[in-house]
């Protein structure tokens, strides 16, 4: 599958989001960064076409989305976005900020199980 390069404005916005991460993003990033989680490489605030995803593992084409309060107001947008990303071959793992904070071990166990079921992706 051919990868579409994101626009310069999307690239800049992703960089800004990396600098302004939420507390929940920072918490999860401590577990994912530097190949700490099962040896997988994750990127944060990664552009995919016109979208910016919270975390991305290219090896498994896995997107992790943390849903905070703003997602209560944009459920339809998230549904359409997820559908478009799935059509491009991505798997999306959504978790609420509350769930992450109250059950980090459970979230990490589910994430690990999912990663082990996904096939390796071709190099992107």
* Tokens 């579409």, residue located: 4
pLDDT digits (tens, 9 = 90+) for 33-73: 999 999 999 999 999 999 999 999 999 999 999 998 776 77
Residue 2 lies in a domain: no
Number of domains in the chain: 1
Residue 1 lies in a domain: no
Please give the Cα distance from 57 to 40 (Å, whole number). 7
pTM, two decimal places: 0.89
Which residues, 6 or more positions from 9, have their beta carbon under 8 angstroms from its beta carbon? Answer: none
Residue 85 lies in a domain: yes
Q: What b/e string do you get for 6-34 counting C-beta neighbours within 10 Å, with b at 16 or more? A: beeebeeebeebeeebeebbeebbeebee
pLDDT at res. 69: 76
pLDDT at res. 121: 87
Could you tell me which of 51, 30, 87, 90 has the C-alpha nearest to residue 42?
30
Residue 97 lies in a domain: yes
* Tokens 């800004």, residue located: 16
Residue 31 lies in a domain: yes
Q: Which range marks the domain in which residue 14 is found?
A: 8-117
């Amino acid at each position: 599958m051919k990868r579409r390069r994101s626009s310069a404005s999307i690239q800049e916005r992703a960089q800004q989001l990396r600098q302004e991460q939420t507390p929940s993003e920072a918490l999860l990033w401590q577990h994912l960064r530097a190949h700490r989680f099962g040896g997988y490489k994750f990127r944060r605030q990664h552009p995919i076409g016109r979208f910016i995803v919270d975390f991305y593992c290219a090896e498994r084409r896995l997107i992790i989305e943390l849903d905070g309060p703003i997602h209560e107001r944009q459920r339809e947008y998230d549904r359409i976005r997820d559908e478009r990303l799935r059509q491009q071959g991505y798997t999306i793992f959504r978790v609420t900020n509350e769930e992450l904070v109250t059950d980090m071990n459970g979230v990490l166990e589910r994430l690990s199980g999912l990663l082990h079921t996904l096939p390796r992706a071709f190099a992107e």
